[in-house]
Structure 1
Amino acid sequence: MPSITAGVWNETIKLASRKKTLFFLAVMIVLPVAAGILLSRFQSGIGIGAIASRDFPILMLNLFTMVFLPLFVFMGAADVFSGEQGDRTLKLVLTRPVSRFKVFASKQLALALYIALYLVAGLLASTLSALLFQQTSGIGMILDGLLAYGAAIVPLIVLSIAATFLAQFFSSSSTALTVSLLLYVAFKVMAFFLPQLATYSPTAYTDWHMLWLSGSLAGSKLTSIFMFLAACSILFFTAGFYVFDKKEI
């Protein structure tokens, strides 16, 4: 375990040194604040509330999980696997007395930590924006935000594991990113035309936090979706590590 802990720390520092990582963190903080200011001025101008303040953090989360966080996931997976293979830094990592499994798991865990960090930053920024700019305070909004943002981490982690599996087949981070984005968009579009098939893709559940807030969904339905996502993560992790372990660096 110490080697995994050290590996996660090392991968976390490497991601933190990238400008992309800081850019996405800034977006998660600045975007809710800017949106809160604009929405407050718009609603005061027309004299009615277009969006309830209680719904504002969830509205921002829908945007984050649809666009910004998947984009970070794809970029992060492409950088830590395909990018490092392309610039030969991965070869240096594998010469250390650490098993390939621990290297692979460390990279996965580092991405998961950043997903959690971004969600916490987005929750705090959107909640404070709703409280400050829309002149409201309510424990219900805070509880809904905690539930939704906490639930959102599950499909995003599954998406990151799938992205790292895909990244094993490319030695260029730009190619891996492009393919990941194209597949993501394709599956999202497929959801409109073939919704029954789309449910068998983890991309169909990036908004599953809304199910937790509906109140009408049975617990067995949530359990079945969670089990599906867990199965996807196990399959993609196992397949990704198999390719990573057999790869000639």
Structure 2
Amino acid sequence: MNETRAIDRLDTQPRFTDQEAIRLNRMFRGAETEEWLRAVFEGDLVGDIALVSSFGAESAALLHLVSRIDASIPVLFLDTGKHFPETLAYRDELTDRFGLNRVDLYPDLADLEARDNTGLRWSYDPDGCCELRKVKPLEIALARFDASLTGRKAFQSSTRANLPRFEVDTADAQGRLKINPLIDWDAQRIAAYFEEHDLPRHPLIERGFASIGCSPCTRAIKPGEDPRSGRWAGWDKVECGIHKPGEEPFL
């Protein structure tokens, strides 16, 4: 596995503006996913890019798609220390099968000792736990990249229903671009992609888990619930902080 490090940037200008995100959305309007994604990669249209993956319920589709185009693209995985054992085994299986350039990211040990020495912060402050174990490590790792790929899909929840393919990350002061290749894929298309390419499913799916994060804050969903209703159940929380629920779409 490779190791990432934060590097200082000499420029202070935003990497991307809202207008540039709008232009990219218009440029590839109506294009098939693999077609426009290949054009972005091979044309070097967005600079240095990384894929951020949780190796969750549907992650194999995007990981497989990207690996077919360019397997050298770094795949950033946040090892929070709270994942299901099944997720870690699935991560290793997909890494080997697709030949992924996986980079494991870890929370800062001094931060954990100072703010979560019992490991139970998730039980009374899930936002703080996510900040320590996900948001901060990813922020450091992404400092060397201009854009990141996500696995978000519109059908997953109402907060993701209107997201575009390309957007400027509102949580990033440097104006990093966030790209959502599967945003317009529905559950049927994802299932068909898994079938077509004989992709393995996350082992927790058969136990009713539709969206899979850290084990203390993830439950199986009930019939009729949206796929992400099993995340942070009982809390007024729909995202870990990596993605902001109020991000505005650029068409």
TM-score by length of 1: 0.23
For the pair shown, which has the larger CA radius of gyration, 1 or 2? Answer: 1
Which structure carries more strand by proportion? 2
Which structure carries more helix by proportion? 1
TM-score by length of 2: 0.23
